[in-house]
């Protein structure tokens, strides 16, 4: 089985985000770029499938810092790594990259495309269903378990409220991974050093075939605070206040 994994580098949004001067993006100058969490799980699931059934894993990465993450993927067991050229300082929209991924899947006779279920930078839709629809391959997102038996996949999807649904589908297919069957593995420094010699292929993007598209006019920060009361940053004072508040509402004691 040939597996293609898509890794997207996105700004670390745990810290503070500043708006760019033109208001259409975020200021990327001082931001750390990191691998989209869900894509990390997609990579892990691919390597687990390789270990279980001997697949070939090709990893394509897009965005700032792609080379670094491709070396990490090689250290984790990817057979081939490719950087998809992207515009610097631009958001990575699924709608834009779907055609490139679909073309690569065709060119490399891929049986299974894996990517993360979503990326926080992606307001124009999800990658897996775009690629699935463009290739007319079956697709399922939100997966937390993938088992391959030859060309037949058993895929478990979370539906919310503790409900899980298992589907069967045949390859070729596209899956949007929510959680890998096991947590993404740690790679040692020595393995990373060894993998740094892995040659990184280059791919040029395909033009998106979509003529109609939406546009981001401006970005803004949400109005902060809601209507809640700020108790401050001193743990002792906060604890005192909370005890009073809970007592007043009859919630302080078991």
Ligand X SMILES: Cc1cc2nc3c(=O)[nH]c(=O)nc-3n(C[C@H](O)[C@H](O)[C@H](O)COP(=O)(O)OP(=O)(O)OC[C@H]3O[C@@H](n4cnc5c(N)ncnc54)[C@H](O)[C@@H]3O)c2cc1C
Q: How many residues does the chain have?
A: 254
For residue 102, what are the contacts with CB-CB under 8 A and spacing of at least 6? 131, 134, 135, 206
132 counts as binding ligand X under rule CB under 6 A: no
CA distances from 124 to 8, 58, 121, 222 (A): 15, 26, 9, 19
Two tokens, residue 233: 């940053």
Distance CA 184, CA 198 (A): 21
CB of 53 to other proteins, least distance (A): 19
CB of 118 to other proteins, least distance (A): 7
Selected range binding other proteins among 51-59, 76-84, 106-114, 153-161, rule: CB under 8 A: 153-161
CB of 56 to ligand X, least distance (A): 28
Considering only residues 7 to 36 of the shown chain, the ones binding other proteins according to CB under 8 A are 11, 13-14, 16-17, 19, 26
2 counts as binding ligand X under rule CB under 6 A: no
CB of 141 to ligand X, least distance (A): 8
Among other proteins, ligand X, none, what binds residue 147 when CB lies within 5 to 8 Å by partner kind? none
149 counts as binding other proteins under rule CB under 8 A: no
CB of 171 to ligand X, least distance (A): 24
Considering only residues 141 to 180 of the shown chain, the ones binding ligand X according to CB under 6 A are 142
Distance CA 250, CA 182 (A): 42
Candidates 79, 35, 97, 105; CA nearest to 201 is 79
Among ligand X, other proteins, none, what binds residue 20 when CB lies within 5 to 8 Å by partner kind? none
Considering only residues 215 to 234 of the shown chain, the ones binding other proteins according to CB under 8 A are 215-222, 224-226, 228-234
117 counts as binding ligand X under rule CB under 6 A: yes
How many CA atoms lie less than 13 Å away from 197 in the CB half-sphere? 4
Two tokens, residue 28: 């990327």
CB of 79 to other proteins, least distance (A): 27
Distance CA 254, CA 238 (A): 20
For 12-151, strand residue ranges (E) read 33-35, 56-62, 80-84, 112-116, 139-149
Considering CB under 6 A, how many residues would be counted as binding ligand X? 4
Sign of the alpha-carbon dihedral angle for 231, 232, 233, 235: negative
118 counts as binding ligand X under rule CB under 6 A: yes
Binding characters for other proteins, 106-145, by CB under 8 A (x = yes) = -----------xx-xxxxxxxxxxx-xxx--xxxxxx---
CB of 188 to other proteins, least distance (A): 21
Could you list the residues that contact ligand X (CB under 6 A)? 14, 117-118, 142
């Amino acid at each position: 089985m040939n597996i293609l994994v898509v890794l997207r580098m996105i700004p670390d949004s745990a810290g503070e985000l500043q708006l760019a001067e033109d208001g259409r993006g975020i200021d990327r100058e001082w931001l750390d770029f990191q691998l989209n969490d869900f894509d990390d799980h997609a990579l892990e699931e691919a390597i687990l499938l390789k270990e279980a059934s001997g697949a070939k894993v090709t990893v394509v990465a897009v965005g700032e810092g792609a080379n670094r993450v491709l070396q990490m993927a090689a250290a984790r067991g990817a057979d081939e790594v490719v950087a998809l050229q992207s515009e610097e300082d631009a958001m990575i929209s699924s709608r834009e990259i779907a055609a490139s991924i679909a073309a690569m899947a065709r060119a490399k006779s891929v049986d299974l495309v894996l990517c993360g279920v979503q990326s926080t930078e992606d307001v124009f839709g999800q990658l897996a269903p775009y690629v699935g629809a463009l290739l007319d391959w079956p697709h399922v997102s939100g997966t937390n378990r993938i088992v391959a038996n030859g060309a037949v996949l058993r895929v478990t999807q979370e539906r919310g409220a503790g409900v899980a649904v298992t589907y069967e589908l045949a390859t070729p297919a596209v899956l949007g991974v929510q959680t890998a069957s096991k947590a993404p593995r740690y790679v040692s420094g020595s393995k990373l050093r060894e993998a740094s010699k892995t040659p990184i292929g280059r791919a040029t993007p395909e033009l998106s075939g979509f003529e109609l598209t939406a546009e981001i006019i401006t970005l803004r920060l949400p109005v902060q605070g809601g209507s809640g009361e700020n108790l401050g940053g001193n743990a002792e004072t906060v604890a005192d206040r909370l005890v009073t508040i809970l007592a007043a509402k009859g919630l302080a004691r078991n």
